[in-house]
């Protein structure tokens, strides 16, 4: 790796040799002064695949042409539309197809899955999350605890970081489970923590939690499409993720949900039911009794929003063509390059909060400007004014996420050069 900032031969050569380079032209880039923005916010809202508009237009046309018949006729009848997303989505998260369904939005799915898998008792009422969890997840678990008549003051356990920069070791997770596992009903843990970018070993966390009799769910908002996940093998009970971050499916896009195969045929599990979760063979007999479909499908409630599902199809086609292992291979190099440039040239100005071990992170590096919050804001705004987009997370973090589907090595170099211009007075 060549970490010089002054010529770009090395970065250009990497881009030229990049086996995934053909995917960049599949995306639409916001423009800055006549060129593509340097876009590092795929962790927040992934770019629009060109195929998204086509996929939506196809369904609009079918609605116009055959209206209600679209449920049953044509290449992708709406009645089974979600089923076409099942296999490609399962490949993204390392699940069996029957374990995955695309429905609702992330927080809604967390609630629906907690309705089944958070079953607190007097002896075991608690939920374990990481301290500083994403607010929506925290609101969700806190409200679930109250909903069941328990008290978040005692029954919401928020594990504090035990390593610098807000990082949490597996040893700390093991310790809290040893000490308090007997009263924990549910462990809800992120695949990748949104603020620090730390990636967790899901299989180890699930094993530790299971050994203490806890249910385990994962929030994969920042993990899905970012790094390979072996969700089935992890043994988690459930998981949920949004599709508008690394999965590029558009603002507020329909989310993913996973229910482990061992719960696939459990009509005994309490759940908040709707007609779309009813077994499809008998759904339209319109009987009063709820007979849940096998697998994750049995957690659906409403018939799916087809126009909102269409961009997911376009996006997953790209993931299928690129494959997660190839994306990860590029991502390791791309984020490694970003890290190396920061360390070689920008270390006096910026510290990296995300773990240095590539096995403990995905694409994102969380950066903190050493001068403090005001300096951090100033750098963030300087970057944006120069067509380099990261995102800001209070109180003082700039997140930069090179997405291997569409970011280039030269993008990373442009980021580092722009930061250096700021440190040397613009
Ligand atoms: C992005 C994100 C959310 C957003 O929730 P929505 O229900 O999609 O609005 C929730 N939790 C985490 C951890 C996230 O990263």
Q: Is the Cβ atom of 229 under 6 angstroms away from ligand 1? A: no
Q: In a mutational test of the pocket of ligand 1, which residue from 106, 197, 252 has the highest number of ligand atoms less than 8 Å from its CB?
A: 106
Give per-residue pLDDT as tens, 239-275: 999 999 999 999 999 999 999 999 999 989 999 999 9
Give the CATH fold of the 9-18+324-423 domain: 3.90.1150
Where are the domains positioned within the chain?
9-18+324-423, 56-320
**What's residue 74's pLDDT?**
87
Instruction: Please tell me the distance between residue 313's alpha carbon and the centre of ligand 1 in angstroms.
Output: 21
Specify the DSSP element, H or E, that contains 218: strand 215-219
Beta-sheet pairing, 388-389 with 391-393: unpaired
The pLDDT of 218-236, averaged and rounded, is: 98
Q: Which residues of 38-66 are buried (b: 16+ CB within 10 A; e: fewer)?
A: bbbbbbbbbbbbebbeebbebbeebeeee
Give per-residue pLDDT as tens, 336-359: 999 999 999 999 999 999 999 999
What is the pTM assigned to this prediction? Answer: 0.97
**pLDDT at residue 426 greater than cutoff 80:** no
Q: Which of 197, 226, 253, 320 is nearest to 48 (CA)?
A: 253
Q: Is the Cβ atom of 134 under 6 angstroms away from ligand 1? A: yes
The pLDDT of 285-290, averaged and rounded, is: 94
253, 55 contact by CB (below 8 A): no
> Which range is least confidently modeled, 1-5, 210-214, 245-249, 317-321?
1-5
Q: Is 286 left (phi over 0), alpha (psi -120 to 50) or beta?
A: left
**pLDDT at residue 71 greater than cutoff 90:** yes
* 130 HSE (CA, 13 A, CB side): 28
Distance CA 90, CA 261 (A): 12
CA angle 195, 198, 200 (to 5 degrees): 130
Closest atom of ligand 1 relative to the 221 alpha carbon: 15
Q: Is the Cβ atom of 221 under 6 angstroms away from ligand 1? A: yes
Specify the DSSP element, H or E, that contains 423: helix 409-423
Task: Provide long-range contacts, Cβ within 8 A and 24+ apart, for 157-164.
Answer: 157/126, 157/127, 157/128, 157/129, 157/184, 158/129, 158/130, 158/131, 158/132, 158/133, 159/128, 159/129, 159/130, 159/131, 160/131, 161/131, 161/132
Q: Which two tokens stand for residue 262?
A: 């061992």
- Give me the percent of the chain exceeding a pLDDT of 70: 100
Instruction: Please tell me the distance between residue 221's alpha carbon and the centre of ligand 1 in angstroms.
Output: 6
Q: Is the Cβ atom of 137 under 6 angstroms away from ligand 1? A: yes
Closest Cα to atom 1 of ligand 1: 221
280, 51 contact by CB (below 8 A): no
Q: Is the Cβ atom of 242 under 6 angstroms away from ligand 1? A: yes
Instruction: Please tell me the distance between residue 293's alpha carbon and the centre of ligand 1 in angstroms.
Output: 27
| Summary mean pLDDT of the chain | 97
**pLDDT at residue 75 greater than cutoff 90:** no
Q: Is the Cβ atom of 246 under 6 angstroms away from ligand 1? A: no
Q: Is the Cβ atom of 141 under 6 angstroms away from ligand 1? A: no
**pLDDT at residue 101 greater than cutoff 70:** yes
CATH number of 56-320: 3.40.640.10
Q: Is the Cβ atom of 105 under 6 angstroms away from ligand 1? A: yes
**pLDDT at residue 327 greater than cutoff 90:** yes
| Residue carrying structure tokens 């998204």 | 52
- Count other Cβ atoms within 10 Å, centred on residue 206: 24
């Amino acid at each position: 790796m060549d970490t010089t900032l002054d010529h770009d031969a090395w970065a250009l050569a990497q881009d030229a040799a990049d086996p995934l380079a053909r995917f960049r032209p599949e995306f639409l880039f916001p423009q800055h002064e006549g060129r593509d923005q340097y876009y590092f916010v795929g962790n927040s809202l992934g770019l629009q695949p060109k195929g998204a508009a086509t996929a939506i237009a196809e369904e609009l046309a079918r609605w116009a042409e055959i209206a209600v018949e679209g449920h049953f006729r044509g290449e992708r009848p709406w009645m089974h539309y979600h089923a076409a997303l099942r296999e490609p989505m399962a490949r993204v998260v390392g699940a069996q197809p029957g374990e995955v369904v695309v429905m609702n939005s992330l927080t809604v799915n967390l609630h629906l899955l907690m309705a089944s898998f958070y079953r607190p008792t007097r002896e075991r009422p608690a939920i374990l999350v990481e301290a500083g969890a994403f607010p929506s997840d925290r609101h969700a678990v806190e409200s679930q605890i109250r909903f069941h008549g328990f008290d978040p003051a005692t029954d919401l356990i928020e594990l504090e970081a035990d390593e610098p920069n807000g990082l949490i070791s597996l040893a700390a997770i093991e310790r809290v489970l040893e000490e308090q596992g007997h009263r924990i009903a549910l462990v809800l843990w992120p695949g990748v923590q949104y603020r620090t970018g730390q990636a967790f070993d899901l299989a180890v966390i699930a094993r530790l939690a299971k050994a203490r009799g806890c249910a385990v769910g994962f929030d994969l908002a920042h993990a899905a499409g970012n790094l390979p996940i072996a969700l089935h093998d992890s043994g988690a009970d459930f998981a949920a993720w949004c599709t508008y971050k690394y999965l590029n499916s558009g603002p507020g896009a329909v989310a993913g949900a996973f229910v482990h195969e061992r719960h696939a045929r459990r009509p005994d599990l309490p759940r908040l039911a709707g007609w779309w979760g009813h077994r499809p063979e008998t759904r339209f007999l319109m009987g009063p009794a709820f007979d849940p479909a096998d697998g994750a499908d049995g957690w659906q409630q409403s018939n799916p929003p087809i126009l909102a599902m269409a961009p997911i199809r376009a996006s997953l086609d790209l993931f299928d063509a690129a494959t997660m292992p190839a994306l990860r291979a590029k991502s390791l190099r791309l984020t490694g390059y970003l890290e190396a440039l920061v360390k070689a040239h920008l270390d006096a100005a910026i510290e990296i909060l995300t773990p240095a071990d590539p096995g403990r992170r995905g694409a994102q590096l969380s950066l903190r400007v050493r001068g403090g919050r005001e300096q951090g804001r100033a750098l963030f705004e300087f970057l944006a004014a120069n067509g380099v987009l990261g995102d800001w997370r209070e109180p003082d973090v700039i997140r930069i996420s090179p997405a291997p589907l569409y970011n280039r090595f030269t993008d990373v170099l442009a980021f580092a050069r722009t930061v250096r211009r700021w440190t040397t007075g613009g």
